[in-house]
Structure formats: C-alpha cells, structure tokens
C-alpha cells in the first residue's frame, strides 16, 4: 500500500469504513505478527497480540491525528501489548532434572544463560522510550531503512537518525553486562 493509499484508507476507516480498515489490516497484519513473534517466541500469543492491537486500533482510530503515522502508531500499540504480556507473565526458570539433556544440545545451564540473555535483550528494547523503541524496532527487527521509517512515521531524517543512535546507545548501556558475559565464554 503506497503512502497516498494508506492515508486515504486511514481517513476512510476513521470515518467508520470497515472495508478500509480491513485493507489496513491486510497491509500490516504480517509485519505486526512478525514483530510480536520476535519478542514473544510463541505463535499463539503473537497472534493474540496482533489481533488485540488491531482491535485497539479500531477503537482508538478516531484519535489518531496524523493518518500517515498509522503504521508506527500500530506498532507502538503492539509493543505496549508485548510489554504488558511480559509484565503479566514473568517467566519462572525451572529446571527439570529428570530429563537429561540430549546429545549435542546445550545443557540446562547454557540454555538458561541463553534464555536469560534473550529475555534481557527483549526487556532492554521494551524499556526504551517509546520514540526510540519504535525506530529501533523498525530498523533492527523489521529491517526497514531510514527512508522507510521516515515515511512511515512522518519524521525528518535527522530525527530518525538521532533517535536510532540514542536508542542504540541506550541498548548498549543496558546490555553491557550481557555483552561482557559473551566475551568470557
């Protein structure tokens, strides 16, 4: 969906056109699901988050001021739902010692360390300020270029680049202990 068609669809959906919202759903469903899967690693939960993001988007669409920002607004909504999921479901690390580790698979200790590192990365991204989180997520997790982010969020290039740089620095600072751990292996 090109920018003009996106804006037209958002404006029509804001006026109550369900078909226009269905077009927005089809245009954004896969990337939103992929984003949720990246953090949640559970297809059912990612599907629930995707669906809930669209339900909330439909309900809150009249409040969206800039139709061109729909994609970033929707991703931010999904990221908030992912964060809510992590708050509600703090993982409990349990090791079942009755099941010995299979042959070449990592042992429980390595798996636990890797799981903890992955959780730390997800939590670090989710803890970024919203304006940085959206851009970092779009660039590093969705593989979008600076130009694509500029277009999706309606921001100037300098704003995108500076938020991306600050977000990257915030992640580096938050993840420094885990990065040091990798070097010690």
What values do phi and psi take at 95, rounded to 5?
-110, 125
pLDDT, the chain, mean: 81
What is the pLDDT averaged over residues 146-171?
A: 87
Residue 22 scores a pLDDT above 90:
yes
Whether 1-90 shares its CATH topology with 104-185 is answered no
Q: Which of 68-72, 101-105, 114-118, 174-178 has the highest mean pLDDT?
A: 68-72
CATH, domain 104-185, list 1.10.10.60, 3.40.1550.20, 1.10.3720.10, 1.10.10.10: 1.10.10.10
Q: Which of 126, 110, 114 is nearest to 170 (CA)?
A: 126
DSSP 77: H
Q: In whole angstroms, what is the distance from residue 75 CA to residue 111 CA?
A: 30
Residues 6+ apart with CB under 8 A from 102: none
Query: What is the value of pTM for the model shown?
Result: 0.58
Q: What is the pLDDT of residues 26-68, one digit of tens each?
A: 999 998 998 888 888 899 999 999 999 999 999 999 999 989 8
Domain locations in the chain as residue ranges: 1-90, 104-185
What's the CATH number for 1-90?
A: 1.10.1740.10
């Amino acid at each position: 969906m090109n920018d003009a068609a996106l804006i037209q669809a958002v404006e029509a959906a804001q006026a109550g056109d369900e078909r226009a919202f269905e077009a927005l759903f089809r245009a954004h469903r896969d990337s939103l699901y992929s984003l949720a899967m990246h953090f949640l690693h559970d297809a059912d939960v990612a599907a629930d988050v995707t669906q809930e993001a669209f339900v909330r988007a439909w309900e809150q669409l009249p409040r969206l001021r800039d139709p061109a920002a729909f994609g970033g607004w929707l991703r931010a909504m999904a990221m908030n739902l992912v964060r809510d999921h992590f708050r509600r479901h703090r993982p409990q690390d349990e090791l079942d010692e009755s099941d010995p580790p299979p042959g070449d698979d990592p042992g429980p200790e390595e798996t636990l360390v890797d799981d903890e590192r992955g959780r730390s990365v997800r939590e670090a991204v989710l803890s970024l300020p919203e304006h940085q989180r959206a851009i970092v997520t779009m660039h590093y997790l969705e593989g979008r270029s600076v130009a694509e982010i500029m277009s999706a969020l309606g921001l100037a290039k300098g704003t995108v680049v500076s938020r991306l740089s600050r977000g990257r620095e915030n992640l580096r600072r938050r993840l420094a202990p885990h990065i040091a751990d990798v070097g010690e292996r």
